Amino acid sequence: MVNSKPRPADNVTNGLYNQDILTVRQFTPELVDYVFGVADEMRTLVERFGSADLLQGKIMANLFYEPSTRTSSSFMAAMQRLGGQVIPINSVKYSSVSKGESLADTVRTLECYADVIVLRHYEVGAAAEAAHWASKPIINAGDGVGEHPTQALLDAYTIQRELGRMENLTVGMLGDLRFGRTVHSLTRLLLNRDVTFRFVSPRLLRMPEEIRDEVTNAGDTFTEHRDVMEIIDEVDVLYVTRVQKERFTDLADYERVKDIYVITPEVLANAKEKMVVMHPLPRVGEIAYEVDQDPRAAYFRQMQNGVFTRMALLAAVLGRA
């Protein structure tokens, strides 16, 4: 289903033109570099002019079946800064979804009005299903515990900007590695780049076997830990995640693990001087507010990078990059 939509000859456009963005597996290292290059241009554009008319006349539908602040607003900001328009369906309960309309019909409706559909859904594979039905491009903005490819791209872009490289790194991922789709996508995006992964979680929230196998099959290495202090002194990136309460079937399990990690200045006292603390946000206690002042705390810059990355992706998918 990936890359199933017609695309003009490659010499007239880029590899993302008219394509769905469903998984980070679509992104070759060359394509990642290309997106980062365009994101840099978008940053300059926003800093100098605030907006442009690159996507004037284009419309993006933002279809969100799950809560979102950052992903939905940054996609809207990205579209509007490029001169495009947005149909925001941020609360599907007020749309015909609450009348029982299927995803297939909802996306085939929205593509009558829009040129691209950004979809967040609670089911793994929903974006691929939507892409199957739609003839306009679908951008996966999170499909259940599956993937969140645009978040992984903005995360990798942040790593590149903060540390000057996204290769040859030790990356600690901490918290809910089982249900957190952002760490699934980011791990995949960092494969084959000489990255050593340190997965820190309680046993209940281990990185899924499928992804651990992908790391091994790529010839990369990972170790698993319960205690962040075992890895804090060696990581270049500490990627912190929220325990995903909404994914638990047994809330007693959630209560047992919800407060298991809190990154404080005392924890970071043991970290390298040049490293970054990242978080896709929202945080619900796993990073103390006192950490925000630390120059290594990159999560606010990470959010800002999300707009530039999404501007680059929208421009590319709509053929104007």
Residues forming the site for ligand NCD (CB under 6 A):
70-71, 142, 148, 151, 181-182, 242, 244, 280-281
CB of 10: closest distance to ligand NCD in angstroms? Answer: 31
Q: Whole-angstrom Cα distance, residue 97 to residue 224?
A: 41
C-alpha dihedral, 70 to 298 to 166 to 45, nearest 10°: 60
Contact indicator for 138, 119 with CB cutoff of 8 Å: yes
From the list 163, 216, 164, the residue with the least C-alpha distance to 192 is: 216
CB of 88: closest distance to ligand NCD in angstroms? Answer: 16
From the list 241, 227, 231, the residue with the least C-alpha distance to 282 is: 241
CB of 302: closest distance to ligand NCD in angstroms? Answer: 9
Q: Which is nearer to ligand NCD, 71 or 309 (CB)?
A: 71
CB of 281: closest distance to ligand NCD in angstroms? Answer: 5
Contact indicator for 170, 236 with CB cutoff of 8 Å: yes
Q: Whole-angstrom Cα distance, residue 136 to residue 133?
A: 9
**Element (DSSP H or E) covering residue 181:** helix 181-189
From the list 240, 176, 241, the residue with the least C-alpha distance to 208 is: 176
Q: Which is nearer to ligand NCD, 41 or 253 (CB)?
A: 253
Q: Which is nearer to ligand NCD, 52 or 262 (CB)?
A: 262
CB of 190: closest distance to ligand NCD in angstroms? Answer: 17
Instruction: Write b or e for each residue in 58-71: b if 16 or more Cβ atoms lie within 10 A of its Cβ, otherwise e.
Output: bbbbbbbbbebebb
Q: Whole-angstrom Cα distance, residue 218 to residue 196?
A: 12
Q: Which is nearer to ligand NCD, 54 or 156 (CB)?
A: 156
CB of 4: closest distance to ligand NCD in angstroms? Answer: 25
The number of helices, as runs of H, and strands, as runs of E, in the chain is: 10, 9
Query: ∠ at Cα 280 (279, 283), nearest 5°?
Result: 65
Q: Which is nearer to ligand NCD, 151 or 187 (CB)?
A: 151
In DSSP terms, 236 is beta-bridged to none
What is the CB-side half-sphere exposure of residue 289 using CA atoms within 13 A?
A: 0
Q: Where are the beta strands (DSSP E) in 33-143?
A: 59-64, 85-89, 116-121, 138-143
Q: Which is nearer to ligand NCD, 18 or 182 (CB)?
A: 182
Q: Which is nearer to ligand NCD, 54 or 60 (CB)?
A: 60
CB of 173: closest distance to ligand NCD in angstroms? Answer: 13
Q: Which is nearer to ligand NCD, 188 or 242 (CB)?
A: 242
CB of 141: closest distance to ligand NCD in angstroms? Answer: 7
In DSSP terms, 107 is beta-bridged to none
